[in-house]
C-alpha cells in the first residue's frame, strides 16, 4: 500500500513553487546564517503547505484508517510497520537536510503533518512527534556532522526509531532534580539511572538522553547524549498502560553501567540545559499541532452524527444546545490553529536572523510557544468532551472515536510540561522582560 503513495520529498522538492526566486548567493547567505532551519531552507508558500496537507491527508486515509486507529488504541500497541510507511512517504524528516533524506522544510510544515496524523490517530501522531521533533530535530539542531551522518538517514527513512529521555520519577518539570548520572571513563561516560514516561522508549533504537555529569553543579552540570539502545546495560523495565495515547508505546527505561563514547555527546559537556531549552520552545510549538488534529477529529465524528441522528422527528443538529456546542468546538479549533500557525510562520519567515543569539529570544518567544500548546491542549480536551456529549449514549461507547479523542487530548495538558508549568513559564517570561526575578 505504501508504494502507491506518492512520496512527499521528491514531489515537494521538484515543484517549482517550493523555492522562491532568490539569487543563489542570497540563499547560501541565509542558510549559513540560520541555526534552527535546514540547509537551503526558504519559507514555504501557502500553496506549498496546502499541498503538503493534502498529501498527508491522503497518506492518513490510506494507512491510518478508523480501524487502524481503534486497534492501535484498544491493543495499546503502536503498529511498527507504520514507521517505514511514514519514512517512505517522506514525513519523518521534515526539518532535516536533504542530504540525509529530509524535506528541508520548517516548523509550519512540521505542524501541518502532525495535525493531520493526529486527526487520524492521536497515538500515532504523538509517536511521530517524539521521533521527528524530539529526536530528529534535536540532532539537527545540536548534532555535529558525524552524528548527523550516522543517525539521521535511518531515522528519516523509518529504519530506526527515535526518542527523547528527560523525565524521571522524581524529575518531570523539575529538571534540575534529575538523578541519572554520567561518570567519565576513558573514551566516554558511564550512565546509570532510570527514565520514566518515555514515548517510543520500548521501541527506540536511538535516544537523546539527559544526565548529570557534574551532579553538584545543578543545571550547569547536565549533558545530553545520543544513546543506542543496543548498548550493554540498556533495558526497558516495563511498557506503561495509559489512559489515553494508548497506542503510543511509552515505557520506563533503565541504564545500568551503559557506556557512551565521547563522540556521542550531543552539544557540549555540561551544556545539556542549553540543548534542552533551545529545543523546548520549538517542541512545544510543534506539539501544539497535535491538539489541533484532535479538535478536527472531534468535529469529524460529531458533525455527521448530529445531522443524521433524529430525535422528536428532527436531526439533533437543529437543537440550539447542539448548535452551541458545534459553534464552540469550531471556534476553539480555529482560534487555536491561528495561534499555532502564526507563531510557526513568524519563526520560518525570520529564519535568517536566528544565527544571532540575541535575536533568538525575540523571534522564538517562550511565551508564544508555551501559550500555543497551553491554549490548544485545553481546548482539545473540551472539544473531546463536547463530542462525547453530542453523541450521547453512543459517545460513551468504545466503538466510537469520541472517547479515544478525549483521552488522547488530555495527554497534551500533561506532557511537554503541564498546563500549570506552561502558565508559570509564560509569567516568568514577562518577569524577565521587566527585570523581575
Rounded CA-CA distance 340/369 in Å is 8
Element at 60 (helix H, strand E): helix 46-63
pLDDT at 27: 33
Residue 45: DSSP 8-state: P
Q: What is the block-wise mean pLDDT of the chain (437 residues), using blocks of 10 residues?
A: 42 39 34 70 96 98 98 97 97 96 96 98 98 96 96 98 94 80 96 97 97 92 97 97 97 98 96 86 97 98 96 94 98 98 97 84 94 98 98 96 98 94 96 92
**Which of 246, 295, 303, 330 lies closest to 409 in space, CA to CA?**
295
Residues carrying an active site annotation: 283
Q: What are phi and psi of 5, to 5 degrees?
A: -85, 125
**Which of 393, 383, 378 lies closest to 423 in space, CA to CA?**
378
Q: Tell me the domain boundaries of the chain.
A: 2-161, 165-270, 273-433
pLDDT at 34: 53
b/e burial code for range 128-163 (CB count within 10 A of at least 16 → b): bbbbbbbbbbbbbbbbeeebbebbbbbbbbbebbbb
Angle at 115 between CA 109 and CA 120, to 5 degrees: 135
Pairing status of strand 310-311 against strand 314-315: antiparallel
Residue 183: helix, strand or coil by DSSP? Answer: strand
E-only strand ranges, 283-407: 310-311, 314-315
Contact 325, 389 (CB under 8 A): yes
Residue 167: DSSP 8-state: -
Domains 2-161 and 165-270 share a fold: no
Q: Which CATH architecture has domain 2-161?
A: Orthogonal Bundle (1.10)
Q: Which fold has domain 165-270?
A: Butyryl-CoA Dehydrogenase, subunit A; domain 2 (2.40.110)
pLDDT at 351: 93
C-alpha cell of 233?
Answer: 546495560
The whole model's pTM is what?
0.92
pLDDT at 278: 75
Contact 413, 385 (CB under 8 A): no
pLDDT at 364: 94
Residue 271: DSSP 8-state: -
The CATH classification of domain 273-433, taken from the options 3.40.50.150, 1.20.1630.10, 1.20.140.10, 3.40.50.970 = 1.20.140.10
Amino acid at each position: 500500500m505504501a508504494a502507491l503513495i506518492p512520496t512527499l520529498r521528491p514531489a515537494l522538492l521538484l515543484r517549482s513553487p517550493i523555492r522562491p526566486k532568490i539569487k543563489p548567493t542570497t540563499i547560501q547567505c541565509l542558510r549559513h546564517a540560520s541555526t534552527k532551519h535546514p540547509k537551503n531552507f526558504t519559507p514555504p508558500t501557502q500553496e506549498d503547505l496546502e499541498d503538503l496537507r493534502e498529501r498527508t491527508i491522503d497518506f492518513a486515509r490510506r494507512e491510518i484508517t478508523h480501524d487502524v486507529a481503534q486497534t492501535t488504541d484498544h491493543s495499546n500497541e503502536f503498529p511498527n510497520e507504520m514507521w517505514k510507511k511514514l519514512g517512505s512517504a517522506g514525513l519523518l524528516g521534515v526539518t532535516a537536510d536533504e542530504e540525509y533524506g529530509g524535506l528541508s522544510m520548517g516548523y509550519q510544515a512540521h505542524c501541518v503533518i502532525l495535525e493531520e496524523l493526529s486527526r487520524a490517530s492521536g497515538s500515532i501522531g504523538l509517536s511521530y512527534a517524539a521521533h521527528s521533533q524530539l529526536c530528529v530535530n534535536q540532532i539537527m539542531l545540536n548534532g555535529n556532522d558525524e552524528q548527523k551522518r550516522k543517525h539521521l538517514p535511518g531515522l528519516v527513512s523509518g529504519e530506526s526509531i527515535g526518542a527523547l529521555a528527560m523525565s524521571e520519577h522524581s524529575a518531570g518539570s523539575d529538571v534540575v532534580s534529575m538523578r541519572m548520572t554520567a561518570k567519565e571513563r576513558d573514551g566516554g561516560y558511564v550512565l546509570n539511572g532510570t527514565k520514566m514516561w518515555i514515548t517510543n522508549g520500548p521501541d527506540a533504537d536511538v535516544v537523546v538522553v539527559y544526565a548529570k555529569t557534574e551532579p553538584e553543579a545543578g543545571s550547569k552540570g547536565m549533558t545530553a547524549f545520543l544513546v543506542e539502545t543496543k548498548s550493554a546495560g540498556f533495558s526497558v523495565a516495563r511498557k506503561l498502560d495509559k489512559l489515553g495515547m494508548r497506542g503510543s508505546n511509552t515505557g520506563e527505561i533503565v541504564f545500568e553501567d551503559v557506556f557512551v563514547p565521547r563522540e556521542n555527546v550531543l552539544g557540549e559537556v555540561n551544556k545539556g540545559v542549553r540543548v534542552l531549552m533551545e529545543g523546548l520552545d520549538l517542541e512545544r510549538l510543534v506539539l501544539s499541532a497535535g491538539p489541533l488534529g484532535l479538535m478536527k477529529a472531534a468535529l469529524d465524528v460529531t458533525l455527521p452524527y448530529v445531522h443524521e441522528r433524529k430525535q422528536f422527528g428532527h436531526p439533533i443538529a437543529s437543537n440550539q444546545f447542539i448548535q452551541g456546542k458545534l459553534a464552540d468546538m469550531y471556534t476553539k479549533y480555529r482560534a487555536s490553529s491561528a495561534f499555532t500557525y502564526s507563531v510557526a510562520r513568524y519563526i520560518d519567515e525570520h529564519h535568517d536572523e536566528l544565527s544571532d543569539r540575541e535575536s533568538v529570544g525575540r523571534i522564538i518567544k517562550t511565551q508564544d510557544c508555551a501559550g500555543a500548546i497551553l491554549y490548544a491542549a485545553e481546548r482539545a480536551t473540551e472539544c473531546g468532551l463536547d463530542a462525547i456529549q453530542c453523541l450521547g449514549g453512543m459517545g460513551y461507547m468504545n466503538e466510537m472515536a469520541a472517547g479515544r479523542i478525549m483521552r488522547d487530548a488530555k495527554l497534551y495538558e500533561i506532557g511537554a510540561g503541564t498546563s500549570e508549568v506552561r502558565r508559570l513559564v509564560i509569567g516568568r517570561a514577562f518577569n524577565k522582560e521587566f527585570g523581575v526575578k
